[in-house]
Structure 1
Amino acid sequence: MSLMLLVCALTLLAIGLLVLAFRLLFSLPVLKHFAQGAVALSAALLAGVALFSAWDLYSYRALLEETPVAELVFHRQAPQQYRVELRVDDQVQEFVLNGDQWQLDARMIKWQSVVARLGVDPLFRLERLSGRYATVSDELNKPRSVHALGESRAVDLWHWLRQNERLAQFADADYGSAAYLPMADGARFQVSMTSFGLIARPLNDAAAVAVAEWSS
């Protein structure tokens, strides 16, 4: 089942609940029929939750085996400062990162139980891009740089899944293992999402040399 089908199912559920709520509210006086009024208001509330959950899910992408999710190109501006071009889905954003390394974080939702048996694919969303320093003392004393890449506006379904033990039986919400590698002038990297988390690979000689020097 695709992500769009899941979003559509939640949206249709919300519409059905809203229709029920309005029919009950307008057919009988709520004050005289408290039980029906309570059902109507509960249906309206659940409809709102379903709609906002669908909206939040729409900001995620389905994980189909290994999926390339981003490409990064670095340009040195000053010692321990780089301008990075981040390409995601043919859209390019530019950021400034301080430090010696870059780090990309993502959220993941892995379905459990009945939802998994329905064939719903795991979901992920890029969360933030940040700079890292090679030494602890630099990390403590030099300027940090963190940039948000995704956010939940009304309902944060991922947060609900992490905090609610009952919901946890349907899905496992966790951070994908962050990818981080050294920054270098002209270096180009590709980041892919797998079922185990993010994986970063060098795409040109500048990136390969930086990784080799960093690993040695």
Structure 2
Amino acid sequence: MNWNEVLRLPTTLLVILTGVLLLLALVQLLAARQHVRHRRHLTATGHSLLLVVFLLLAAFLGGIAMSLRGYRFFNEEAPVVQIDAHILSPQRWALTLTWPDGATRNVMLAGDDFQVDAIVLKWKLPAMLAGLPPLYRLDRLSGRYDDASQEMSAPRTVIDFSQAGAADLFDLKKQVPRWFPEVDTVFGSGAFLPMVDGGHYNVSLMRTGALVARPDDATAQRIGQPFGG
């Protein structure tokens, strides 16, 4: 397990904090029961109030953790995914996706190009000054045709990477923006490149929120165009 990658998941950190709060709540519960047995009701009431506070905080952080499933912190440039392409038939491809934590997934894609889309969340100035980095999550991978008319009529393939479902922060921000006053912007970013047989691509996200796809040198030569870093 790559712990550096795990700790870049805000959900992981929030779950840890939620666990700590639940442990503190348990301590308060045991202390309250102990004081009740010894008829120290005022002290028991104080521990009970702390128990409620810790439980409410744990529920709050747990809810935020669910809305941030799939998101990651990033700094100057964050590697998002590596893609290896192998052709099956004209405009039909088998792709192997490798995430920074070492996880892999095999998918089938139709088209001439692959397109990767991500959701990026930026904070307002107070949160940024406090050192809270932007968040991102990989949203989807899709096939793209070079011919616009074929794009409208040919079979489309879209691989959905969303994990949070209806509780995703991207949707919640649009539905109830007043609930998230510290969120500055939530926007999409995409990048695409032509697929070649045996191609290897690195997809990264810049701190500006721009998604960048780069082929390695051999793949760039096979594409026939100079793609820079």
Q: Compute the TM-score of the two structures, normalised by the length of structure 1.
A: 0.75
Which position in structure 2 is the counterpart of 1:149?
A: 161
Shift of 1:9: 4.9
Unmatched segments (≥5 aa) in structure 2:
1-7, 33-53
1:99-123, Cα deviation, whole Å (9 max, x unpaired): 1110001111111143222211111
Determine the C-alpha separation between the residues in 1 that align with 2:128 and 2:200: 36
Q: Is the 8 A contact 2:82 2:202 kept in 1?
A: yes
Which position in structure 2 is the counterpart of 1:114?
A: 126
Determine the C-alpha separation between the residues in 1 that align with 2:79 and 2:204: 4
1:23-55, Cα deviation, whole Å (9 max, x unpaired): 9xxxxxxxxxxxxxxxxxxx9888645412213
Unmatched segments (≥5 aa) in structure 1:
24-42
Which position in structure 2 is the counterpart of 1:138?
A: 150
Q: 1:6 to 1:48 in 2, by over 3 A?
A: closer
Residue among 208, 214, 220 paired with 1:201: 214
Residue among 55, 71, 74 paired with 1:60: 71
Q: 1:47 to 1:154 in 2, by over 3 A?
A: farther
Which position in structure 1 is the counterpart of 2:45?
A: none
Q: Is the 8 A contact 2:91 2:110 kept in 1?
A: yes
Between the two proteins, the alignment pairs up a number of residues equal to 198
Q: 1:166 to 1:132 in 2, by over 3 A?
A: same
Which position in structure 2 is the counterpart of 1:70?
A: 81
Which position in structure 2 is the counterpart of 1:85?
A: 96
Amino acid at match of 2:215: P
Shift of 1:206: 2.8
Amino acid at match of 2:204: S
Q: Is the 8 A contact 1:10 1:54 kept in 2?
A: no
Q: Is the 8 A contact 2:66 2:168 kept in 1?
A: no
Cα RMSD after superposing both structures: 3.5
1:144-163, Cα deviation, whole Å (9 max, x unpaired): 00001232146222211233
Tell me whether 1:187 sits opposite 2:199 in the alignment: yes
Shift of 1:18: 11
Q: Is the 8 A contact 1:83 1:95 kept in 2?
A: yes
Q: Compute the TM-score of the two structures, normalised by the length of structure 2.
A: 0.71
Q: 1:52 to 1:6 in 2, by over 3 A?
A: closer
Q: After superposition, where does 1:156-171 map in structure 2 within 5 Å?
A: 156-167=168-179, 169-171=181-183
Determine the C-alpha separation between the residues in 2 that align with 1:120 and 1:160: 20
Shift of 1:130: 0.4
Q: Is the 8 A contact 1:103 1:131 kept in 2?
A: yes
Q: Which moves more between the two structures, 56-65 or 142-151?
A: 56-65
Amino acid at match of 1:72: I
